[in-house]
């Protein structure tokens, strides 16, 4: 028997019971649509977050005070932790392949211009900060490379803060008070938007030594080191360790490479995608049970047809194929509709919420349809087997 004829017979039966077929396929359609839509969103978010993370470049290494054990507990809570200092940062410039080193302190303070005040984020950073984090200056210049100990009271404004305090007027040369201390504005930054929920635009940048004073801290919060592209990460990390251990006497700091961050991020996102897939999987299971049910009913209704086919010389295998074909067709149609709805839904969502990126990998689409077909196959096996084992004389006795 030709494949074309199996298809034709399956279609004729599915079309004959249009309404029922639509309802049955709907289960699979919803499942596939859910899987496609949710994974599209998941993949989109995945891509989005990854690009956010790599915005600062992939050759960035962060060093924080305190040692994080594998259990995530900082040993520093008990033992002695020496703060990371500006001098440490200076020393780290000697790490092999190091291109830039920047130390950073962050806090909140009140900013006051001649008539407005606003509480916002203060970043104490070094002169190489824009270079390290791929930021650019909009007007004026960034903080100069002063001797950290006697850094001049200069400040640079983020784009949003500049607008808040000065409107459209140029703030260059104006004075602001940061936590009560006077600073002169020497530059403004280009807008960067939100990066991982941190608004770098609503911020003011001042020299790190002054920020330490302002927040009454002994050490910086983080030292970031950018190394050259081709450098072996291991060697850079080893260099950092060697220098800091020599200065501190023990490894009382934590080094985080971009690679590690991506790994952690990747596994979190994988779990997310998996959970989403599981939800879709459950709806597919329900859809599969729907097909199983309707195929069982269908076999019962068509007992006499099965008898007839046997009388006409159909083998058991052919009867099995006829019913399997039907359940696969139901699942396939449901799957295609689901793909359409899921893909369309993802596009629509992206159109409605441009901030929410969606991405539907073609491999996913193919896999989803294969999955639908597989479900149809599995759901059809039991009813089709029952049909193929039916006793033809019993089957023909019914009218």
Partner 1 sequence: MIQLDHIERVFQVGDQKVHALHDVGLKVERGEYLSIMGPSGSGKSTLLNIIGLLDRPSDGQYFLDDKDVSLLTEKEQAKTRREKIGFVFQFFHLVPRLTAAENVELPLVLAGMMPGERKQKVSEVLQAMGIGDRMHHRPEQLSGGQRQRVAIARATIMQPTVILADEPTGNLDRASGKEVVEILERLVDNGLTLVVVTHDPELGQRAKRQIKMVDGSIVSDTLRSV
Ligand X SMILES: Nc1ncnc2c1ncn2[C@@H]1O[C@H](COP(=O)(O)OP(=O)(O)OP(=O)(O)O)[C@@H](O)[C@H]1O
Burial (CB < 10 A; 0-12, 13-18, 19+), residue 290, is: buried
User: What is the radius of gyration, based on Cα positions, of the chain?
Assistant: 33
Give the shortest CB-391-to-ligand X separation in angstroms.
7
Buried b (16+ CB within 10 A) or exposed e, 84-122: bbbebbebbeebebbbbbbbbbbbebebbbeeeeeebbb
Size of site (CB under 8 A) for partner 1: 27
Measured from the CB atom, the residue of 229 and 394 that comes closer to ligand X is 394
Which chain residues interact with ligand X by CB under 6 A?
A: 393-394
From the list partner 1, ligand X, none, pick the one residue 1 interacts with, judged by a Cβ distance below 5 to 8 Å according to partner type. Answer: partner 1
Measured at the alpha carbon of residue 300, what is the angle toward residues 295 and 306, in degrees to the nearest 5? 95
Q: By CB under 8 A, tell whether 393 contacts partner 1.
A: yes
Name 217's Cβ contacts closer than 8 Å, sequence gap at least 6: 83, 105, 211
Pairing between strand 253-257 and 60-65?
Answer: antiparallel
From the list ligand X, partner 1, none, pick the one residue 5 interacts with, judged by a Cβ distance below 5 to 8 Å according to partner type. Answer: partner 1
The closest alpha carbon to 150, from 222, 213, 209, belongs to 209
Q: By CB under 8 A, tell whether 134 contacts partner 1.
A: no
Give the shortest CB-394-to-ligand X separation in angstroms.
6
Give the shortest CB-393-to-ligand X separation in angstroms.
6
C-alpha to C-alpha distance for 330 and 32, rounded to whole angstroms: 13
- CA torsion angle 22 23 28 34 (round to 10): 110
Assign 207 to helix, strand or coil: strand
From the list ligand X, partner 1, none, pick the one residue 2 interacts with, judged by a Cβ distance below 5 to 8 Å according to partner type. Answer: partner 1
In Å, what is the CA distance from 145 to each residue of 56, 148, 206?
21, 8, 12
From the list partner 1, ligand X, none, pick the one residue 134 interacts with, judged by a Cβ distance below 5 to 8 Å according to partner type. Answer: none
Measured from the CB atom, the residue of 251 and 394 that comes closer to ligand X is 394
Assign 391 to helix, strand or coil: coil
Q: By CB under 8 A, tell whether 16 contacts partner 1.
A: yes
Give the shortest CB-9-to-partner 1 separation in angstroms.
8
From the list ligand X, partner 1, none, pick the one residue 309 interacts with, judged by a Cβ distance below 5 to 8 Å according to partner type. Answer: partner 1
Assign 89 to helix, strand or coil: helix
What would the two tokens of residue 126 be?
């070094």
Q: By CB under 8 A, tell whether 55 contacts partner 1.
A: no
Of residues 280 through 309, those in contact with partner 1 by CB under 8 A are 304-305, 307-309
Measured from the CB atom, the residue of 289 and 393 that comes closer to partner 1 is 393
Measured from the CB atom, the residue of 195 and 396 that comes closer to ligand X is 396
Q: Enumerate helices (H) and strands (E) in the chain, giving the number of each.
A: 12, 12
C-alpha to C-alpha distance for 81 and 65, rounded to whole angstroms: 7
Give the residue, chosen from 136, 266, 316, 348, that forms a contact with partner 1 under the rule CB under 8 A.
316
Measured from the CB atom, the residue of 229 and 301 that comes closer to partner 1 is 301
From the list partner 1, ligand X, none, pick the one residue 41 interacts with, judged by a Cβ distance below 5 to 8 Å according to partner type. Answer: none
Segment lying near partner 1 (by CB under 8 A), choices 12-20, 150-158, 184-192, 364-372: 12-20
Q: Please, what is the end-to-end C-alpha distance for the chain in angstroms?
A: 27
Give me the sign of the Cα torsion angle 367, 368, 373, 378.
positive
What would the two tokens of residue 396 be?
């023909």
Q: By CB under 8 A, tell whether 56 contacts partner 1.
A: no
From the list partner 1, ligand X, none, pick the one residue 305 interacts with, judged by a Cβ distance below 5 to 8 Å according to partner type. Answer: partner 1
Give the shortest CB-293-to-ligand X separation in angstroms.
28
Measured from the CB atom, the residue of 110 and 394 that comes closer to ligand X is 394
C-alpha to C-alpha distance for 266 and 59, rounded to whole angstroms: 18
Give the residue, chosen from 1, 23, 153, 279, that forms a contact with partner 1 under the rule CB under 8 A.
1
Q: By CB under 8 A, tell whether 315 contacts partner 1.
A: yes
Q: Which residues would be at the binding site for partner 1 (CB under 8 A)?
A: 1-2, 4-5, 9, 12-13, 15-16, 304-305, 307-318, 392-393, 396, 399
């Amino acid at each position: 028997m030709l494949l074309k004829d199996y298809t034709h017979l399956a279609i004729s039966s599915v079309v004959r019971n249009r309404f029922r077929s639509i309802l049955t396929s709907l289960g699979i359609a919803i499942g596939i649509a859910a899987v496609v839509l949710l994974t599209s969103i998941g993949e989109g978010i995945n891509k989005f977050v990854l690009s956010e993370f790599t915005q600062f470049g992939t050759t960035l290494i962060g060093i924080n005070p305190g040692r994080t054990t594998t259990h995530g507990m900082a040993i520093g809570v008990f033992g002695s932790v020496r703060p990371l200092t500006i001098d440490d940062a200076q020393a780290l410039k000697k790490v092999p392949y190091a291109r830039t080193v920047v130390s950073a302190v962050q806090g909140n303070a009140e900013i006051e211009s001649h008539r407005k005040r606003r509480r916002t984020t203060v970043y104490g950073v070094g002169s190489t900060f824009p270079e390290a984090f791929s930021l650019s200056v909009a007007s004026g210049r960034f903080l100069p490379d002063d001797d950290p100990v006697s850094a001049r009271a200069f400040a640079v404004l983020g784009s949003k803060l500049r607008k808040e305090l000065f409107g459209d007027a140029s703030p260059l040369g104006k004075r602001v008070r940061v936590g009560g201390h006077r600073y002169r504005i020497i530059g403004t930054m280009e807008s960067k938007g939100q990066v991982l929920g941190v608004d770098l635009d609503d911020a003011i940048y001042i020299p790190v030594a002054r920020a330490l004073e302002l927040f009454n801290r002994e050490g910086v919060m983080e030292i970031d080191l950018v190394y050259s592209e081709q450098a072996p990460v291991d060697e850079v990390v080893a260099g950092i360790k060697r220098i800091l251990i020599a200065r501190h006497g023990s490894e009382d700091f934590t080094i985080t490479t971009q690679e590690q961050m991506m790994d952690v991020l990747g596994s979190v996102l994988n779990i997310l995608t998996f959970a989403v897939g599981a939800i879709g999987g459950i709806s597919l299971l329900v859809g599969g049970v729907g097909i199983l049910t309707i195929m069982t009913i269908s076999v019962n209704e068509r007992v006499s047809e099965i008898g007839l086919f046997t009388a006409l010389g159909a083998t058991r295998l052919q009867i099995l194929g006829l019913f399997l074909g039907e359940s696969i067709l139901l699942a396939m149609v449901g799957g295609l509709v689901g793909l359409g709805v899921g893909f369309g839904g993802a596009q629509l969502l992206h159109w409605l919420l441009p901030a929410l990126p969606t991405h539907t990998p073609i491999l996913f689409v193919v896999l989803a349809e294969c999955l639908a077909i597989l479900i149809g196959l599995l759901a059809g096996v039991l009813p089709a087997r029952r049909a193929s084992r039916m006793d033809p004389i019993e089957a023909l006795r019914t009218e």
